[in-house]
Structure formats: structure tokens, C-alpha cells
Structure 1
Amino acid sequence: MRVLIVESDPGLGDVWQRHIERQGCRVSRASSEGEAIAALRDAKTPVNVIILNLFLQGGSALAVADYASYRHPEARVIFVTSTSFFSDGSLFALAPNACAYVRTNTPPEDLAAMAGHYAAN
């Protein structure tokens, strides 16, 4: 099972990666829109889950989700954010591959469990 983490904060990305790897998933990382698109484009095996910070410092998370729906149509996207923007659920209308919307401070073991669950399906 393959997971791509797209997070601008390397410390947070490291924490998430360690927890998700404990679930038995292979994890790739990107810190910007460009890196994420390159990772999706160059992936030799399908990406099952993308953990994607909604407010990337280097680009648009929605552009990454849109590209993923084209390049890896089975991939599910877990959006992570530290704001209440999109708390009305409208994100699910904008990104049909979205499967979850969680806060950045979600315990990493919970995020890892979600990634493992969606990767297995």
C-alpha cells in the first residue's frame, strides 16, 4: 500500500510518516504542489492514499487533488488543515476523491489508522 504525504512542515511530515510506516504502508513525501505532482506522475505503482495539507506553502492542494484524480483515480485524499475553512463540507464537492477532512492536530496514530484503512480499500 502506498501513501503520499504532501506537507510543507517537515517535522509534521516526519511524525506522520513514522506512524503510517508502522501500519505497513510505503510512504513518499512532497512539500509543495510541484513535488507532489512530480511524485504522482513518476510513481511506478499506484498511490492508494494522499495525505494533503489543504493550505500548502508551495502551491495549491486542490490542484494536487485534481491531478491525482486523473493520474491515480483510485487514490483517496485525506485533507488536513489547521483552519476551519471548508468546515461546512463543501470541500467534498470540490474534490471528489476526498475521503476525510481532519485537523492538523489529529493524533498521528489516528491519521495513520485512517491512511491504513483507506489504503486497504
Structure 2
Amino acid sequence: MRVLIVESEIELANIWRRHLERLSFEVHHAETSDLAVEAIGDQDFDVIILNLILAEGSALAVSDYAQYRQPNTNVIFVTDTSFFSDGSIFSMTPNARALVRTGTKPEDLAAMVEHYGSHAETQPV
């Protein structure tokens, strides 16, 4: 299973990466929306872990591009704000599967990736 982590905080991305790699996932990391778009254009992903607040660029643009290029890719949004706590992210981005806090336990996030990634592999195009 291939996972793209789009996270500006390198330490946090590395924590998530280590947990996912322990489950034998192939993990790629992009710090900015531009790097994420480039990765999505070059490779297929089953799941994207995407921080809504990036240091550079727009997370929603990344999600839109992923929906266009890889419609079966599922997105797990993470955030440390309450901005989308009303669930509106799910009406704005059809590939959104979850919205969790950045402080979510890495093993819980890994379980979500495993769940949504297995569904991505079985979805018809």
C-alpha cells in the first residue's frame, strides 16, 4: 500500500512514517502542496494523509488534484484547529474519509490508513 504524507512539520511526518513503515506501507513525504502535487502526478497512492494547515500552499488544492488524478485515493485530513469541526470538509472534498487531530496516536492513524487503503485498492475506477 502506498501512502503520501503531506505535512509541513518534519518531525511529526517522521513519527507517522515510522509507524506506517512498520506495517510495511510504502511511505512518501511532501512538505508543501507543490511537492505533493508533483508526487501525485508521478505516482499512485492509496491514501493521502493531508494536514489542512500547510506552511506553504493549499491542502484543498492538493485534495482537488488528487481527486482529479487519482479518484480512488482516499484522503485523511489532519488538523490542529477546529475550523472544519462541523464536518464541512466532507461536502467540500469528495475524497475525504476522515478528519482527525494532529495529536491522534500514530497507531490509530496507521489503523485508519490500513482501513481506507484497503478500500482504495478494491474501488472500481
TM-score bracket for the superposition, by shorter chain length? over 0.9
2:103 — aligned with what? Answer: 105
The letter for the 1-side match of 2:31 is: S
Q: CA RMSD in A?
A: 0.6
Deviation per residue, 1:57-90 (Å, 9 max, x gap): 1100000000000111100000000010110000
Structure 2: runs of 5+ lacking an equivalent: 120-125
Q: Give the Cα separation in 2 of the matches to 1:112 and 1:64.
A: 21
| Deviation beyond 4 Å, 4+ runs, structure 1 | none
Say how many residue pairs are matched: 119
TM-score, normalized by length of structure 1? 0.97
Distance 1:17 1:86 in 2: 25
**Structure 1 spans left out of the alignment, 5+ residues:** none
Q: Which has the higher contact order (CA 8 A, sep 6+)?
A: 1
1:70 counterpart residue number: 68
One-letter amino acid matched to 2:29? R
- Structure 2 CA distance, aligned partners of 1:20 and 1:13? 11
Q: Does 1:50 align with 2:48?
A: yes
